[in-house]
């Protein structure tokens, strides 16, 4: 007998830290309510934490690049 996979859930787009935070809250609530297996919740929470770190790194890189452009425009490089 072959078990079918559960139907895929609609996944929200995780474009910002707020989106990632919201998804993490959803995972937490579903796990606490018993709607999500704890092992799956742990895996999703881990992946969301990785995504959060990547998002933070991207934000920092973008801010640093903007500061470097401002310095270059002001003639601040020596």
Q: What is the pLDDT of residues 32-72, one digit of tens each?
A: 999 999 999 999 999 999 999 999 999 999 999 999 999 99
pTM of the entire predicted model: 0.74
Alpha-carbon span 78 to 75, nearest angstrom: 8
CA torsion angle 47 10 12 29 (round to 10): -60
Q: With bands split at pLDDT 50, 70 and 90, how would you rate the model's confidence at 3?
A: very low
DSSP 8-class letter at 56: H
pLDDT value at residue 62: 97
């Amino acid at each position: 007998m072959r078990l079918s996979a559960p139907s895929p859930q609609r996944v929200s787009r995780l474009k910002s830290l707020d989106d990632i935070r919201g998804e993490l809250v959803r995972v937490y609530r579903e796990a606490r309510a018993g709607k999500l297996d704890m092992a799956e919740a742990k895996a999703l929470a881990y992946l969301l934490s990785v995504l959060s770190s990547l998002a933070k790194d991207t934000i920092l890189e973008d801010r640093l690049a903007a500061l470097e452009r401002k310095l270059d425009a002001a003639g601040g490089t020596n």
